[in-house]
Structure 1
Amino acid sequence: MKKLNFPVYSFRFKNSENKTAIFDEIRKKFILLTPEEWVRQHTVQFLLQDKKFPKSYINVEKLIKINDLSKRYDVVVFHPNGDIFLLIECKAPEVPISQNTFDQIARYNLVLKAKYLMVTNGLNHYFCQMDFENEKYIFLKELPKYK
């Protein structure tokens, strides 16, 4: 897999029928290793190891309904009260981050109402804080650590 713009983390892998799987600490199971999953697992380790978010507040790949369509978010981090603190959209490294990517996460956030957003393809990371009053996002240099 391609080297990403994250610190080096250690992962557990399993090979079966010429396919490689990576262990997801949050879902507690092996997941087929795709380029997007590689980015997602690095993002989860970034949240756990660098930003010190408790594992129990992180959720990965869950279905949500948006205008009667079933969609799947990549990663969310909850507040202890159940509100969503952070919504993350992961793309494979070869997928450029575009306005479409921000439109996608913005649509998800109409339902989820996260205070912070992160968009990453593993090479480029974008962090935003929501300004719900003015219906815009404010770009940040980095994501705040867990308090």
Structure 2
Amino acid sequence: MTAPVLGTSYDRPASLDAPGAPRRASGSNFEKNAWLFMRFSGVLLLVLVIGHMTIMLMLDGGVKRINFAFVAGRWSSPFWQIWDLTMLWLAQLHGGNGLRTIIDDYARKDSTRFWLKSLLVISMILVVVTGTYVIFTFDPNIHA
């Protein structure tokens, strides 16, 4: 018998040669769960954003009616607060997960990957916290 030569089928992972063979447990399902989250959050975001755009731009006079009073009236309802909050959180988590994948794919050095992911997490937290704060503390009675 000859020794396996690089570049031949001998150096392929066993899972490629026998797809039905049991796989070793990797210990973590994070990447699988992140992949599933992207699919489900993308569908939900599509529904939320199309609903948002339809209501804001097409119904009852369209964009001409959007002003401070319209936003104040909209955010006085817990339904619209939750709708907008869900859009904000899902968009941040969905986009952040996508950028995390891009960082993993293109950042060559571990230190670069660490700092880029750190900046990503910090910016995501800032946007989510600020957006959540604005949605729930919005006061339509501004005093000059």
TM range (shorter): under 0.3
The structure with the larger Rg is: 2
Bigger fraction of residues in strand: 1
- TM-score of the superposed pair, with normalisation by structure 1: 0.25
